[in-house]
Structure 1
Amino acid sequence: MRRPFWQSLLIYCSAGLILMVTLAPIAWLVLMSVSSSQDLITVPLPWIPKHWDFSKYAQLLDMTGYITENPFLMALRNSLIAAFGSTLLALVAAIPAAYAFSRRNGPMALLFLLLATYMMPPITYVLPLYTLFSDIGMLNNPVTLIAVYCTMLLPFATWLIKSNLDVLPVEVEHAATVEGAGTMRTLVSVVLPMIRPVLMAAAMLSFLIAWDEFFYSLIFNSDLRGKTLPVAIADFAAGRVTDYGLIASVGVLASLPPTFLAVFFQRHLVQGLAAGSVKG
C-alpha cells in the first residue's frame, strides 16, 4: 500500500530537520577553524569567513620538529595508544568472558557485579588508583590509561557480546563438538565468525568511550607525556587570550579518527546493535 503524500512529506521534513540540527554545529566548527581571528571577534559574526585562514591546521600538524614539542601531535599519539590499546585488551578479555556467561553457565551474580563497577562514579576510584600508579611510577604514561580504560570497557563489551551470543543457535556449536573441536576451537572457528558484527560494534563503541574520556586523563597526567586530546583541547582554552580558531581546528582534527571509523564500520555497527534485540 502506497504511503500518502503528506506522510512522506512529514517523514522527509523530519529527517531534514534532524540532519540540519546534527550537522549545523559541525559546519560552524569547520567554518570557525578556517576563519581569521578578526572575523571571529566581529559583531555580528559573519556566516562565511571573509578571509580563509588555514594556518591553524599547519600549526597543529607541524612535523618539522620533535613530536614531543608539538602539544597536539603528542596528545593525538597518546589518544591513539590509549584508545586502541584499551579496546583491544577489553575485547580479548570480554570475548571468553561473554562466552562463559552465555554458554558455560557462568554465575550471573558475577556479571552483575562486573556491571556494578561500570556504574560507579569515576571519582570513586581516583584516590586508590592515583596512589597505586604514583607508587609504581606510572603517572604521565598512556599505558596507565589503557589499564584504567579497560575497567570501563570490559563490563560494557562483555554484556554486549553476551546478549548477542544468547540468541545464536547452540546446535552449530554442538555439531562442532561432535566433530572433535574443543572449546577454544569452537569459539575461534565457529562462534567468532557468526558474531563478527557485534564484535565490530563493541570495538567501535569501546574506542569512542576511550577516545572521549576526560576525567582520568586529566587526573593521571600533568604534562604532555600522557595527556590525551580531550585534556589538550581544554589546555588550548586555558590561556589568558583564547584562540577560538585554533580550538576549533583541534576539534575538527580530533573528530576525524572516530568519524572515519564510524563510517567504515557503520554497517557492522547497526547489525551488531540490532542482533541481540530479538530472540528466537
Structure 2
Amino acid sequence: MKSRTLTFVQYAFGLAVAFCTLAPFAWLLLSSISYQVDLQSVPLRWLPERVTLARYSDIFTNPDNDMAYAFRISMKNSLIVAAFVTLIALIVGGLAAHAFAKYRFTFRQPLIYLFLFTYMIPSIVIVIPLYMTVDQLGLLDSKATLVLLNLSFAIPFVIWIMQSYFKQLSHEFYEAAALDGCTRLQTLRLVVVPMVRPGIVATLIFVFLLSWDDFFFGLLFTSTLDSKTISVAISEFSGKHAVDFGMVATGGVVASVPPLLVAIFLQRFLVHGMTAGGVKE
C-alpha cells in the first residue's frame, strides 16, 4: 500500500511539473493560431472558435509585412551569432578546460576562480563601461560584437562544465595513446573527445541556448535590422497603439524551433557512456 501511494505521489508530481512546463508553450501555440478577436475577448477564450495559419504564412512568405520581414532577418542574425558563439566557445573553452583539468601550472587554481567569477557577474553591473568601450572601438550595431559579448560569458561556462568531465578521465588513457605514438593533439582528438562526447553535447546545447535567447546584449548594442536578433525583433512587434499578441506568439513559436531541433537531434549522443570501451581501473 505504501509503495502504491509513493508511486501515485511520484506520478502526480511528475504530471504537475510537466503541466507547468508545457502549459506556457501550449498557450503560445494556441495564441499563434487564434484570431485577434479571440485573444482580446472577455472572458478569455482558452480554445479558439476558429484557427488561422495566416501569421505563419506572413512570417515566411509575405514580402509586404514589415514585421515579418524584420523577423526573418533577425532570425538569420540569431542563427549566425549562436552558431559562431557555440563553435568558438566549445573550441576555446574546451581546450582551456582540458588544460585546467589535466595540467599543473602556476596560478592554475586562481585562474579557475577568476573565470568562474566573471561568469557570475551580472551583465547589468558592467553595462555602462562595456557600452562605452564598445562605442569607442566603433563596434556598435554589429553581429561580431554580439558574438564577442556572448563569448565573454559562454567561455567561462564551458570551462566550468567541461573540466569536470576531463577530470574523470584516467591517466591510463593518455599513457596508452602515447605508447601508440599519438601526439597531444591526436590524443585529444582521437581519445579524449569521443570519451567526453556526452559532456560536449550537453555543453553545446546550453551554450547555443544561452546565445540564442540573449536579449540584453541585442537590445543595448544593436540598433538596425542588419544586426538585431530574434528576441529583440519579437519585442518590437508591438505598435504605438496596439499589440498584435498573435504575431508575438507566432514569433515565439518559430523562435523556439531551432533550439528544440538542436536538442532533439543531439540527444541521441547523450546516451553514450562517457568511457565506453576504455580500460578498467
TM-score (norm 1): 0.89
Q: How far apart in 2 are the matches of 1:92 and 1:66?
A: 40
Give ranges in structure 2 of 5+ residues lacking alignment: 275-280
Asked if the contact 1:86–1:146 (Cα under 8 Å) also holds between the matched residues in 2, the reply is yes
Conserved 8 A contact 1:198-1:271: no
Residue 216 (structure 2) aligns with: 215
Contact kept in structure 1, 2:101 and 2:163, CA below 8 Å: yes
| Cα distance, 1:7–1:66 mapped onto 2, change above 3 Å | closer
Q: Which residue number in structure 1 is paired with residue 109 of structure 2?
A: 108
For residue 70 of structure 1, give the secondary structure of its aligned residue in structure 2.
Answer: helix
**CA separation in 1, counterparts of 2:65 and 2:37?**
31
For 1:24 and 1:142, locate their aligned partners in 2 and report how far apart those are by CA, in whole Å.
34
Please say if residues 198 and 272 of structure 1, whose CA atoms lie closer than 8 Å, have aligned partners that are also in contact: no
- Structure 2 equivalent of residue 276 of structure 1: none
Instruction: Supply the AA of the counterpart residue of 1:179.
Output: D
Q: Look up the equivalent residue of 1:110 and give its one-letter code.
A: L
Please list, as runs of the form range in 1=range in 2, the aligned pairs for 1:10-29 lying within 5 A after superposition: 10-29=9-28
Deviation of the 1:193 alpha carbon: 0.8
- Equivalenced residues, count: 274
Task: Tell me which residue corresponds to 1:93.
Answer: 92
Given that 1:199 and 1:272 are in contact with CA atoms closer than 8 Å, whether structure 2 keeps it comes out as no
Partner Cα distance (1:144, 1:207) in 2: 17
Alignment of 1:52-67 (within 5 A): 52-62=51-61, 64=63
Question: How far apart, CA to CA, are the structure 1 residues paired with 2:60 and 2:172?
Answer: 54
Q: Is the 8 A contact 1:201 1:272 kept in 2?
A: no
Q: Does the CA-based 8 Å contact 2:197-2:270 persist in structure 1?
A: no
Cα distance between partner residues in 1 of 2:252 and 2:273: 29
Report the Cα distance in structure 2 between the residues aligned to 1:95 and 1:272, rounded to whole angstroms. Answer: 19
Secondary structure of the residue that 1:236 maps to in structure 2?
coil
Q: What does residue 41 of structure 2 align with?
A: 42
Q: Structure 1 stretch 184-193 or stretch 61-70: which is displaced more?
A: 61-70
1:130 maps to 2:125: no
Is 1:70 aligned to 2:63, yes or no? no
The residue matched to 1:48 in structure 2 has which SS? coil
Q: Distance in 1 between matches of 2:85 and 2:133?
A: 19
Distance 1:211 1:227 in 2: 12
Mapped to 1, the partners of 2:273 and 2:155 lie a distance apart of 17
Q: Contact (CA 8 Å) 1:71, 1:224: kept in 2 or not?
A: yes
Note the aligned Cα RMSD (angstroms). Answer: 2.6
Q: 1:69 to 1:51 in 2, by over 3 A?
A: closer
Letter in 2 for 1:184: L
Segment drifting more, 49-58 vs 160-169: 49-58
In structure 2, how many angstroms separate the alpha carbons of the residues matched to 1:67 and 1:158? 41
Q: Which whole-Å CA distance do the structure 2 matches of 1:45 and 1:68 have between them? A: 26
CA distance in structure 2 between the partners assigned to 1:137 and 1:67 by the alignment:
28
| Partner Cα distance (1:202, 1:272) in 2 | 16
Q: Deviations over 1:135-154 (max 9, x none)?
A: 44322221211111111100
Q: Give 2:122's aligned residue.
A: 121
Counterpart of 1:158? 159
Deviation of 1:115 (Å): 1.3
* Structure 2 CA distance for partners of 1:141 and 1:64, relative to 1, 3 Å: same
Match in the other structure for 2:278: none
**Following TM superposition, by how much is the alpha carbon of 1:194 offset from its aligned partner in structure 2, in angstroms?**
0.5
Structure 1 range deviating more: 156-165 or 118-127: 118-127
For residues 211 and 250 of structure 1, the distance between their equivalents in structure 2, rounded to whole angstroms, comes to: 14
Unaligned runs of 5+ in 1: 274-279
Structure 1 residues 29-54: Cα deviation after superposition (integer angstroms, max 9, x where no partner): 11111111111111112222112121
Deviation by residue 1:187-240 (Cα, 9 ceiling, x = unmatched): 111111101110111110000111111111111101211111111111113532
8 Å Cα contact 1:35-1:52 kept in structure 2: yes
- Range 9-18 or range 187-196, more displaced: 9-18
In the TM superposition, what whole-angstrom CA distance separates every residue of 1:81-128 from its partner, at most 9, and x where no partner exists? 111111100111012111111111241111111111111121343334
Give the SS at the match of 1:4: helix
